[in-house]
Every structure is written in structure tokens, then in C-alpha cells.
Structure 1
Amino acid sequence: MALFAAGGPAPTQHSTARKIAVTVGGLLVLMVILLSAFALPGVNTAVKDLPIAVSGDGLAPTQVTATLAKADAGAFDVSMVASEQAAQQEILNRDVYGALIVDTDGLTLDTASAASATVATALVPLAQQLGSTLNLPVTVHDIRPLTSDDPKGMGLTAGALPIALGGWLAAMGIIALIVGAWHRLIAAAVFSIGGGFALTGALFAIGTFDTNYWATSAAAMLGIAGTCYFVLGFERLLRGRGIGIAAVVLILLGNPLSGLASAPEMLPHPWGALGQLLPPGATGTLLRNVSFFDGAAITQPIVVLVAWAILGLTAYAVAGRRHQPRHAFDIHMDAATAATG
């Protein structure tokens, strides 16, 4: 008491100051991590192992591949194909981003800005450089362009992430407002269906998409459902820690690693590939391939999103079983008390 009377700090003051310091320090670390996660992929975006095809007659294609290897070592993963038709089919199948065709008319670059406007733009100066080196005229064909209302694909870049993260927001709202395990699952399903139609409709309205509305809506539904059930399951299983895990997966990692602004191959290895295994990246790829490429290469993103939904539902079921014994015991005790009372 004498120490406190002499003006010494109270224990509660020490405790409060420590809590403030720890809280502020933790939040600062979190902000630095968030800034790094969002900024580093963009800063380090570069062409590396980007798949392209080469075709033509005689020794010219070999000269093209040799020039590519010399000019941009490691930047491209070049495959030889038999004809321009075969090269274009690889583009439409999402196996490659572009093709360099050598024939009697010169050098033709086939691209698909719908696959990635950034990559399509980056391939043009490359083709011009090769044409100059090989003394060939250069022609550029965009065989699968973006829409005229959104020629840079900004709507897809900005819209796919809200569709994926919409599942997060829906889960938070359902947890706060809906009572009952089955009711929450039903609410998530209803929101996924309604959200898929509504959000896809918004992208059609602003001109990002102009074909395959129903299939694109179904893709959006799957993206929302995968995210929503994942958040619901982990929140029920781990409470606050589950929400934190979901935030890391969807926001800290999933958003910057989605590759929507450029291409997964342009992110530092292996982060681009990892991003395609997370809900935002898988959702963006699925929407792109369904709307612009008639469903080519959709197996992986569908499997990824279904796997996240199953993971969430499994966690939801495990949490339910964990709470069941206590609930059954409480019912038994209530019944016993009523019988003896």
C-alpha cells in the first residue's frame, strides 16, 4: 500500500499498457503482412514459362524457337504444333496463351485477350521483335477477344473476386442472423443460387460478359458456395480461429495470388499455381473459361471449388457431432429432473 501511495504504478496499469502494446504491435505486423501479400505479386509479376505454340514450314519455326530462347531465356514454354489450326485449337483449349505462325505471308501472332489481356499485350512486341530479327512482316490476330464494352477485362478482374469473397460476406451474415444448423446450410444454398444469378447479371449489364449467361451463372454459384460453406464449416468447428483461417485463405492468400489481373504464370513460382488451388483464383478461372472459352479447361477449378465446399461441410458436420453428446446429455438430464420433480 505504501508503494502505491508513494505514486508507484498500479498492477492494472501495467496490464493495460501491456495489452495495448501487444494489440498495436500485432495489428502493425498484420498490416505489413497484408501489404506485402497484396503488393509483392504485382511488383514481381513477370513472364516466366508462359506456354505458347509455334508452327510453320521449313526451318523458320526452329529459328523462331531459337530466337525466343536467346532473347527471353526461361520466359516461354514453347511447344511445336503441326498447323495454325492446331495452334488456334490449343489457344481455345486454354493450353497456350498465344501462337507464332510462320508461313509464306510472314509471321502471324494469334492471341486471345479473353485469356489474359496482359499476356496478349505482352506478346505483340515480342512478335514484332521476332519479325524484325527474321526479316518477316508481322500480323496480329485476336482469335478470342474480350467484349467491346470491356476490352481490357477490368470487369472480370474486379468482379470475380467479389463473387468469391461474396461467400465470405454471406457466411458472416448467416452466422449473425440465422439460427439452426440446417437453416444456415439452406440459407447458404439459397444465397449461392441467387447470388450467382445476380452478380453474373451485373457483369453482363456492365458489358464484361455477353454470352453463356446460364453457364456463367452456374460457375458463379459454385464459387460462392465453395467459399460460403468453407467459412461456415470452419467457424462452427473453430469459432474465431476458423474465421481467421478463412481470412488467410481467401483474403491474405487467395486475393493477391488469383492471377486475375495478369495470369497465374506471371506470378512468382510457385505462388501462381497455389493461387489456382484457392477459391478466388479458381472462381476467376472458371468464370473466364465458361464465358469466353465454352467451358474449356474447367475441370480443375470445378474440382477445387467442390473440394473447398466439401471441406467446409465436413468441418460443419464434425463440429455438429462434437456438440451432440453434450446436447443429448442435457436432454437426458432435463428429462430425469422432470421425472423426479
Structure 2
Amino acid sequence: MTKHSTPPGTGRKLTLVVLGLAALITTMLCAFALPSLHSGPHHIPIGVTGPQQTTEGIRANTDADAWDVHVYETTDAVKSAVKDRDIAGGLAVTDHGVDVYTATAGGPSATGALTELGDGLAARYETQAAVHDLVPFTEDDPRGTGLTSALLPMIFGGIFPALILGSVFPGHRGLRTRLTGALLFSVVAGAAVTAVLQFATHSTDGNYWLTALGVTLGTAAMSTTLLGLQALLGMAGFAFGGALMMLLGNPLSGLATGPHWLPTSWAAIGQLLPPGASGSLLRTNAFFDGTGAGLPALVLTAWVVIGVALAFFADRRGKRSAPARPGTATA
């Protein structure tokens, strides 16, 4: 009768796996719960214009933790700043009342909070507040549902290529093929996702090619990073990259609310990760004609470079560790 003995080190490995899974679940809970618990206006930049005494009073009586107030000379200056994404919205106090200028497509939660602020200001002066949405969502998708739902397909568009291409073209010899396939897939996915958003759901109405280019860059940033981590560290690298994108990047992206609705530190981390930068680039290309696209595009380009660099490092390491073929001379 054969006795089955437990291999040495099994207990230690099991302990590490259990602790690692517990840490993963805890991180997932924190990433999803903590930003939601502390969500709200956080240093949202807004503009005000009107009589000097009035604007100074608004600045003095406004919660500095919630609003970052900038004074402008004219109403036109406030409207231009909103369209240029210098501010999230603005208030103009005139003889006729209070005009509230918003950009719902830039952040619906900030729009709601600014509208409430304008209503409160109007009540203080015993007048009415008129809301003017300078950059709304499309008429067919007034709540921006299509835009907010685009992030998960983009994240999975980064996960699936690394997983599937790794199975079809495994090993060191298939690495460059996997990398080429991930980049080609990003181009096709960028065009397809944008086509659905613009022509099927009518959730966006900006320049198609500009929006598609942004989606392509976002998908490439996620797919190449995951592919590079997988090539260098195996399934552990793939799992780490997937957790980074899905469990941290997704809840911190701020795509549904706008980044100013998250605590400042969480929002900053989110915008430095591919999902957050992809969401910001999609928003600015689809509704603001690319105004403010420089930073998210730079972040995504950096992630593409990191992913490609990891893949090439793994490629060189694989060449060094590959055994010499029969019949070849060795130094």
C-alpha cells in the first residue's frame, strides 16, 4: 500500500497563498468602498464673476475643501474657461439673477453640486438661478450611460489579448507575435468601440478619428502592460496587472462622476493608472475636441512604453536562457 506524503514546503506555500488572497480581497474592498464613502466635491475648480463685493463674498463663504474658486472679469471669460476645461463650471451674478454654467459631460456629479450651490446663492439674494449646460451629453444619451459603460470593455480589452494570445502563441518564441497582436488588436478595438459609442448608442458626437485614437491608446496601454508583466513574471505578473487595472484602476477612474468627486489623493492615483487616464482621454476627445488631452495621453504613452520595455526585457532574458540548438557552435 503506497503512502502519499505531503511535499516539503506545502504548508508554507499554502499559508502564503491564503494570506495573498486575503490581502487581495482586502485591497479590493478598500479600493471600491473607501472612495465611495468619502465621495463628494473635492477642490472642484469653479469660476465666479460679478460685482467685486459679491465675488469676494462667494469666495469667503464657500467651503474651501469642496470648491476652488477663481474670479473672472466677465461672463464670457467664465464660459470660455468651462469649455477649455480650466474650470468645471461657473457662477455669474448679474442684475437679472444668478447664471450657473456647467459642463455635464465633464463631470455630472460636479454639475449637480454646482447647481445646488447656485440655487443657494440665488436664494440668498432672493432671486432665481438659471442653469446653462455648455457641454452636455448627447440628446440620445443625456445621462452619459454609454460613456461610463465603455471603461469595462476597455479594461477587458487589455486583459483578454494577454490571456488569449498567450495561449495561442505561448513561450519565448511567441512573445513578439503576442506583442504585435496586442497592438493590432488595440487599433481594431479602438475603432470598433468608438463606432458603437458614436453610431450605435449615439453616446458621443465628437470627431470619430480623434476619439478612436484615444481609445486605441488606452487599450494599448492596458494590453501591453499586462502582456509585458506576463512575459516577465508569468501568471503572477498577469494576475498583478489584472488586479491593478480592475480592482484599483476601475473604481479610481472617476469616469462616472468626474475625478474631482473622489478624494484628492485617490483621484490622483486613479488618473495615473491606465483606466483613469483612458476614461479622461475618452471624455476630453469625445466632448471637448481634445482640449486637455495632453496629460492623459502622456500617461497612457508611458504605460505603453513600460509594457513594451518589459516585453523586450523578457525577450532578451529568454534568448540568454534558451539552450543552444544541436549543431550550433558555442563560444
Under a length normalisation based on structure 2, what TM-score does the superposition of the two structures give?
0.90
Q: Is the contact between residue 154 and residue 218 of structure 2 (CA under 8 Å) also seen in structure 1? A: yes
Q: Partner letter of residue 191 of structure 1?
A: F
Task: Give the corresponding residue for 1:59.
Answer: 53
Q: More displaced, 171-180 or 302-311? A: 171-180
SS in 2 for 1:109: strand
Aligned length: 324
Cα deviation, 1:225-271, whole Å, max 9, x if unaligned, reads 11111111111111123213312321221111101121212212311
Q: Of residues 172, 188, 193 in structure 1, which corresponds to 2:163?
A: 172
Asked if 1:111 is matched to 2:107, the reply is: no
Q: Partner letter of residue 233 of structure 1?
A: G
TM-superposed CA distance for 1:326, in Å, is 3.1
SS in 2 for 1:107: strand
Q: Distance in 2 between matches of 1:81 and 1:162?
A: 40
User: Greater Rg, structure 1 or structure 2?
Assistant: 1
Q: Is the contact between residue 249 and residue 275 of structure 2 (CA under 8 Å) also seen in structure 1? A: yes
Q: Distance in 2 between matches of 1:307 and 1:95?
A: 24
Q: Partner letter of residue 84 of structure 1?
A: T
Runs of 5+ unmatched residues, structure 1: 1-8
Change (3 A) 1:184 1:12: closer
Q: Of residues 263, 267, 278 in structure 2, which corresponds to 1:272?
A: 267
1:83-98 alignment runs, 5 A limit: 83-98=74-89
Task: Give the corresponding residue for 1:315.
Answer: 310
Q: Distance in 1 between matches of 2:11 and 2:320?
A: 42
Q: Is the contact between residue 253 and residue 267 of structure 2 (CA under 8 Å) also seen in structure 1? A: yes
Task: Give the corresponding residue for 1:161.
Answer: 152
Change (3 A) 1:16 1:315: closer
Q: Is the contact between residue 91 and residue 98 of structure 1 (CA under 8 Å) also seen in structure 2? A: yes
Task: Give the corresponding residue for 2:328.
Answer: 335
TM-superposed CA distance for 1:153, in Å, is 1.2
Q: Distance in 2 between matches of 1:185 and 1:129?
A: 55
TM-superposed CA distance for 1:133, in Å, is 1.4
Change (3 A) 1:239 1:25: closer
Q: Distance in 1 between matches of 2:305 and 2:37?
A: 34
Larger RCO, structures 1/2 (Cα 8 Å, 6+ apart): 2
TM-superposed CA distance for 1:11, in Å, is 5.7
Q: Distance in 2 between matches of 1:201 and 1:223?
A: 16
Change (3 A) 1:202 1:129: same
Asked if 1:47 is matched to 2:41, the reply is: yes
Q: Of residues 119, 131, 144 in structure 1, which corresponds to 2:122?
A: 131
TM-superposed CA distance for 1:181, in Å, is 2.6
Identity fraction in percent: 37
Q: More displaced, 147-156 or 298-307? A: 147-156
Runs of 5+ unmatched residues, structure 2: none
Q: Partner letter of residue 263 of structure 2?
A: P
Q: Distance in 1 between matches of 2:8 and 2:329?
A: 50
Cα deviation, 1:20-66, whole Å, max 9, x if unaligned, reads 67655643443233122112211210112111011123422222222
Q: Is the contact between residue 165 and residue 280 of structure 1 (CA under 8 Å) also seen in structure 2? A: no
